[in-house]
Structures are given as structure tokens and as C-alpha cells.
Chains A and B, each alone.
Chain A
Amino acid sequence: MAHDVTPPPEVVCTSLAKTFAGGTEAVRPIDLTFAAGRTTALVGPSGCGKSTLLRMVAGLENPSAGRIEIGGAPPRATLRRAGLSVAFQDPSLLPWRSVRGNIELALTLARRKAGASEIDQLIDLVGLDGFAETRPAELSGGMRQRAAIARALATRPGLLLLDEPFGAVDELTRRQLAQDLPRIWEARGTTTILVTHSVSEAVLLSDRVIVLSPRPAEIVADIPVDLPRPRPEDAARTEAAGALIDRVFAELSKGMAASNPPLAAQ
């Protein structure tokens, strides 16, 4: 390998809250610790504040209150060490660069080096072999999202933040990525925070699922996922996984009902 993996940090959020300038409260004070080297999924209804929480951890949004420590330091210090990568909901590929060029840009920004073969491996891993020199405009939405995932992995971050990374990916590729990506971040021991709408994806990919309420986000449930790894493609059909998925659904529904009582009850 051309460079070392950044050691996985623990992420500690203390009384973390966000209210936007217009007065919209996105996140209520939250205390949350993301364990080093583990994968945590954040699930919640659309617009509940999941992405805002992720952006605060990424240092892209300033909290209104509380603090975040990544490996004992504020997010900006982690950013400066380039120990963090984000795969955004919008792939954010620069249109004038090829897939390879976009990945190389991340390495340049992170001041890291990777060999051509390592970049090729990542491109293969996300199923884009043969598209390394293709520009984003010629790729489908799902392919762009996969390129963005490859870019996020290229800098070998200690902390990987994934904001609905499979939103536009087709079902088959999604299944394949759900098999391949955990292998990488487990092998590297990356601390991973995954924001997703998909309950089964959250259960299959993570070691722990945090269920958030509708906006403003509050923690509704903190559910450990103790399914054995590696988790095969059909793991979602096992009884244990099914029970976990049902539990996450139930907590989500409770959260929704609490903030939006049925019309008949109003």
C-alpha cells in the first residue's frame, strides 16, 4: 500500500445542537459516542436532521451548542490532518475531471499519494472498471455515486462519513457494495458513520443503529447490531436480522407518531 491508514478515532458529541439562522431547529442537544473502528448507522425520517448531524461531525457546519471531539480533537484538526472523508448525498464530482481525475483530486487535497494500481483497484471495487477515464457527464447517477464512494475511500481516512451513499445506486450494485465496502472498512478498522433511509441497509452494514426522531432530531433508540460478520447477501432474511429490522421500524414509527399524531387523534 502506498500510504498508511489513519488510525480510527472515537467521535464524541456532547450536548450537540443546531438551530439555523432562520430559527429552524434541526438537532436538539444530543450526547452520542461513535466507537472507534465501528460502523454506526443513523436512520430517521426525511429532513429529520441526520445530514446536519453528519455535516457537523465533518466540520462543515458549526454547531449552535455543544461540542464534537474526534480522537480528542475538534473536527477542524481532523480535517487538517485529512483523516476524514465524506461521500456526499450529491456525488459532487468535478465535471471536467474523469473518474480517475476526481479520485486523484481527493488525494491531492488530502496531500496523500496512491499508486495507479491502488486507484484502479478502488475503481474496480465500486464496479466502474472500464470507466476510469470517463467524465461524470457520461455516467449514470448510480455510477457517479459509486465514483464518489471510491473517492472517499482513496485517502484511507480514519473516519468515513457516508451520507446516503447508495441513494441512486441500482439494487444489484447496492447489494454488491453492501458486501464489499464493509470488508474494506473492517480491514482498515475505519470509524464509519452511515446516514441512510433504508432500515435493512442500516442493520446489515452497521454495528449499531441510532434512530432519530422527526425534526428536530433527537435520539429515539440506540440499537446494537450483534449479527456475526461477515454478513452474507441473504443475512437480512435470518430471524435475528428480521427481528432487528422490525425493532428499528417500530422505533421509527414511534418517533413519527409522537411528533405527528394521526389526524383522528387531533
Chain B
Amino acid sequence: MTNAAAGTGRPLATGRRGAGGYGPMLGVLVLLAGWELAGQLLTEAFVLAAPSEVALYLVRDWQLMSRALGVTLGNAAAGFVIGNVAAVALAGVALLWPRSERVITGLALLVFCLPLVATGPILRVFFGPGPGPQIALAALAVYYTTLIPLLVGLRAAPDSWFDLVRSYGRGPMSALVHVRAMAALPYLFTGLQIAAPAAFLGAMVGEFTGAERGMGVLTVRAIRALDVEMTWGLATVATAVAILAYVGIGALARRVLLEAPPVILAAPAVATGRRLGGWIDTGLVILLALGGWAGAIWAFGLNPFFAKGPGDVLDALVFAPDAAATRATIGAALAESAVYLIPGYIAGLLAGAALAILLILVPAVASTAMPLAIALRSVPIVTTAPLIVLLLGRGAVGTIFLVAVMVFFPSFVACLQGLRQAPGQVMAVFDSYAAGPLARLVRVRIPAMLPAFFAAARMAVPASVLALTVAEWLATGSGIGSLMALSASLSDYDMLWSSVVLVSALSALGYVLVGAVERRVLAIYAPEQLA
């Protein structure tokens, strides 16, 4: 779920050569030089390894690293395939039976909002030893980021194309083959491009939960041993894999597609004009989620000591003698997390928008900054979280910064593309009045950017929760992420499952609330997206 801001972006925006073609290289060089300098200056602090030290480490331990990388890549690839096949199948069901779409996306959102920190240990108990949790988490990390753009893409054709098919007496199947499938391809690629690094992240989190081999295992080992070179070496390899996957799928898309898709603004699934229908669907989603949860425990005959059903969680939170204490513990942990989450989330969004606006006003910087931003949005949070906390400390600054970073890149990329999507004809009108860049920015570009900004804000809600819980789990030792990790290791499954339910529900609620604001914005600035 790395930067699941999904929804943004041309998959093809990297690697353009030409007049500004050396911008990306310059950006990478500047980054490396800054990193090297900082690494050399902070040698005594044991928080940062310079690129030269990382390179030496990787050369020295390449066998260990390549073995681990092979294992994680295998798990990530299996999860990537399973998750994407599931996404395509779910999109197919939603297409064939439109009534089911909101229920499907609602359930998918709930599963997407499950905190990996907690689902990892639960899946480990469920699957036992072996690659099960790694593959399952990789699959869970990708299906949503593919499903949402794909659903948008399958509907991204004008009505007149379907009229054409119908005018020759052909039905939905011909429309699917000749129109929808092709129209959805750019969107599918956008989803896959975000999914590839996310699968790698999912596999690594799965490996944290007691796997024997893999990058995740090495990461835990490096953090515990405070091995700075190894930690930075792993982060570098993981980042390189994520960027290569992103760029590789982008290159494939360039070969297959005619042009990049527009910014994908999957209008929020919940709350449409049919208010009653919306409530019924929401109720159905909750019922199906609870039924599926209880049904899975029953069907797999899971041990009740570890597998807690909806009734158990209700009991733990409401009826049990220690329910008040459980609620107080979780409430305190959530409050502790919220203190970091909300400022980090808002700061990340605003910083992303601000930088995008700056780049529009000073376009020369864009050719350097844009490829870097696209690359960095692919960096697996699992490896960067401990490093950022290591650098900035366990206090508020480090955690807020981490959440902000997670939100910043998707917001930045979405806003930059939104700003660039200002309608050419309207800009021409402003040109004809010799309007300055500021007037054009305020009156045309920023309004044109708002839909992209809110799409990024919505998708960033679960992503920011993921960033926070991972940071709390691996580094800060406070908040709900730490509570879940602690509960898992102490086998306090009532506490663990209750925390999972509350975090998922709050995360989904946040997503829906931002979606409600987004719908109001779209109604004014992009009404066609709500049609």
C-alpha cells in the first residue's frame, strides 16, 4: 500500500529525454551528493550510512542480500498475481451486475483499511510457517489499488462509443471486448504501477511475522541489532526494486498505450444521490463483512483462543468485566496516535500542494523534482519508517514527518497533474487578457487542481494510518500500532482484534468523510466525474 494515492497519475511521466532530459539524472546526483555529505557528517551518530558505505555493504554481503531479495520477490510476485486477478474478477462482477458495485467497493475498502501491522500476525497464526502470510499480505496490498482505477477505466468511455456498438445490434459482450477493455487499459496500468511496489511492501510486512527468509526478516534483524549499514542497505535495495517495478510497468504501458490516462479521480463510492440506497448498501457491506468474518472462523475451524469473532469483540469492548479497561487502553492509544496522524496528514497534503504550485510558478525545477517525487512515492514505508524515526527521533517530529512524507508524494503528484490539466481554452482566454501567472494560478489552475487534490486526500487516509502504525510498531513504541504489536506478542487476542476492528472502521470512516467533502468539490469543479 505504498502511497496508495492511487489514483493519480500518468504512469508514463518518467524518463523523458530532450531539452530537459538531464533533469532526472541531476536530481538523482543531487540526492546522492546530499546523502553522502550527511552520511559523512553524521558518522558518529549511528543513524545514517552514506551511499558509499551502503555500496560497500551491498558488495560485501551481496549473497545474503540477493538470497533474501529472491525470496521476497517470489512472494511479492505471487501476491501481485493473486491480488490483481482478484481485482479484475471483482471489477468484472461489478460490471456485469452494477447493483453490486458499491457493496464490492465498500467491502474492498474495509479490507484495504485493515492495519497490516495486525493482520500480519493474525495471518501467521492462520497459515502457520511458510510463505502464506507474505503472499496473502502482498495480495491484500495490491487488489484495491488495481480495483479502483480499473472500475473507473471500465466506465471511462463516452456513451457514443457504446451507441456505436448497439447500433450494429451487438450487446454488452461486444462492448466489453471492443470498447471497455481497451478504454480500461491505461487505468489498469496505472493501478498495476502502484500495485507493484505495494506488493513488495506487503511481502516484507508478511516476513516480519516470523518468516525464515527474506528482506523483511533481514530488516527486523538489522533494526534490532542497530546495524545502520544493513538497515540503509535494505532500504536502498527495497527502494530500487520499487522504483524499477514502477518504471518497468510504466515502460510497458508506453509500449502498449497510445497516451497516458488522465488523472484518475475515482469518485468516492459511498453516498450517491440515492440516499436510502446508500444506507442500504452500507448496511449490507457491514453485514457481509461481519458474516464473512464469523463464517471464515467457523469454516476454517480456527482456535477460539486466537480467532475472535464479531461477538467476541463486542464482548471485549462492551460486556466483559474488563471492557472499560480495554476501551480505555485502546482509546488512549488511538488518542496518542491521532496527535501524530492528523497534523502529519494535513501537513503532507498541504506541502504536496504547495510544492506542486511552486513548480508551476517555477517550471524549470519541475524536470528535476518530478521524477524524484515519482520515484520516492514508490519507496516502501516499512524500510524508511525506522530510518526516519532513527534520524528525527522517537518524538512528535519524527512520527509526524513520517506520516507527512507518506501523504506528501501522492498529494504532490496529483496536484501537479491537476494544475497542468487546466483547460487550454480557458487559459487562452486569460492569455488574451494578458493575465499574469498568479491570476491564472488562482483563477484557473487551483480550481482545476482541487479534484485531484481531494482524490489524493481520500486515498491517503488508509496510507497515512499504515505509515503511522508501522512507525509506532517498528520505532516509536507508542500509540495504536505499538498496542497491536504488543497485543500480538502477548497473545492478548481480544485486545488485538478489538484494535483491528476500531482502526479499520476509523480508517474507513475517515476515507468516507474525505470522500463526502470530495463529492461536494467535484459537484462544482468536475461534475462530469459524478455522472
Task: List the interface of chain A (C-beta within 8 A of B).
Answer: 55, 58-60, 76, 78-82, 84-86, 88, 90, 92, 94-96, 105-106, 108-110, 135, 137, 155
**B168/A109 in contact, CB under 8 A:** yes
A265, B170: Cα distance in complex, Å: 51
When distances are taken between beta carbons in the complex, the residues of chain A under 8 Å from B182 are 94, 96
Interface string of B44-87 (1 = CB under 8 A from A): 00000000000000000000000000000000000000000000
**A82/B168 in contact, CB under 8 A:** yes
Apart from A79-B166, A96-B182, what are 10 other A-B pairs with CB-CB below 8 Å?
A59-B166, A60-B167, A86-B163, A88-B160, A88-B163, A88-B164, A96-B258, A109-B174, A135-B258, A137-B258
Decide: A106 near B160, CB < 8 A? Known: A95-B258, A135-B258.
no
How close is B252's CB to chain A, nearest CB, in angstroms? 16
When distances are taken between beta carbons in the complex, the residues of chain B under 8 Å from A55 are 163
- The residue on B at minimum CB distance from A61 is B163
B525 at the interface (CB under 8 A from A): no
**B168/A110 in contact, CB under 8 A:** yes
When distances are taken between beta carbons in the complex, the residues of chain A under 8 Å from B178 are 94, 105, 108-109
How close is B8's CB to chain A, nearest CB, in angstroms? 22
When distances are taken between beta carbons in the complex, the residues of chain B under 8 Å from A76 are 169
A60, B163: Cα distance in complex, Å: 7
Q: Chain B interface secondary structure, helix, strand, loop or mixed?
A: helix
How close is B398's CB to chain A, nearest CB, in angstroms? 48
**B161/A92 in contact, CB under 8 A:** yes
A109, B169: Cα distance in complex, Å: 8
A86, B166: Cα distance in complex, Å: 10
A21, B161: Cα distance in complex, Å: 22
Decide: A155 near B167, CB < 8 A? Known: A94-B179, A95-B258.
no
When distances are taken between beta carbons in the complex, the residues of chain A under 8 Å from B168 are 79, 82, 84-85, 106, 109-110, 155
How close is A156's CB to chain B, nearest CB, in angstroms? 13
Decide: A86 near B161, CB < 8 A? Known: A94-B178, A94-B179.
no
When distances are taken between beta carbons in the complex, the residues of chain B under 8 Å from A90 are 158, 160
Residue picked from B158, B160, B166, B169, most chain A C-beta under 10 Å: B169
Offer 17 A-B interface pairs, CB within 8 angstroms, sorted by A: A60-B163, A80-B169, A81-B169, A82-B169, A85-B167, A86-B164, A88-B160, A92-B158, A94-B179, A94-B182, A95-B258, A96-B258, A105-B178, A109-B165, A109-B169, A109-B170, A155-B168
When distances are taken between beta carbons in the complex, the residues of chain B under 8 Å from A95 are 258-259
- The residue on A at minimum CB distance from B163 is A60
A83, B165: Cα distance in complex, Å: 13
A80, B258: Cα distance in complex, Å: 32
- The residue on A at minimum CB distance from B167 is A86
Decide: A84 near B258, CB < 8 A? Known: A92-B160, A94-B161, A94-B178.
no
How close is B359's CB to chain A, nearest CB, in angstroms? 27
A105, B182: Cα distance in complex, Å: 13
How close is B235's CB to chain A, nearest CB, in angstroms? 40
Q: Which of these, A59, A81, A92, contacts B164 with CB under 8 Å?
A: A92
- The residue on B at minimum CB distance from A88 is B160
135-186 of chain B: CB within 8 A of chain A: 158, 160-161, 163-170, 174, 178-179, 182
When distances are taken between beta carbons in the complex, the residues of chain B under 8 Å from A60 are 163, 166-167
How close is A215's CB to chain B, nearest CB, in angstroms? 20
How close is B12's CB to chain A, nearest CB, in angstroms? 15
**A79/B161 in contact, CB under 8 A:** no
How close is A18's CB to chain B, nearest CB, in angstroms? 16
When distances are taken between beta carbons in the complex, the residues of chain B under 8 Å from A59 are 166-167
**B258/A79 in contact, CB under 8 A:** no
A94, B175: Cα distance in complex, Å: 12
Interface string of B498-518 (1 = CB under 8 A from A): 000000000000000000000
A86, B258: Cα distance in complex, Å: 27
- The residue on A at minimum CB distance from B157 is A94
A96, B157: Cα distance in complex, Å: 12
A37, B160: Cα distance in complex, Å: 27
When distances are taken between beta carbons in the complex, the residues of chain A under 8 Å from B161 are 92, 94
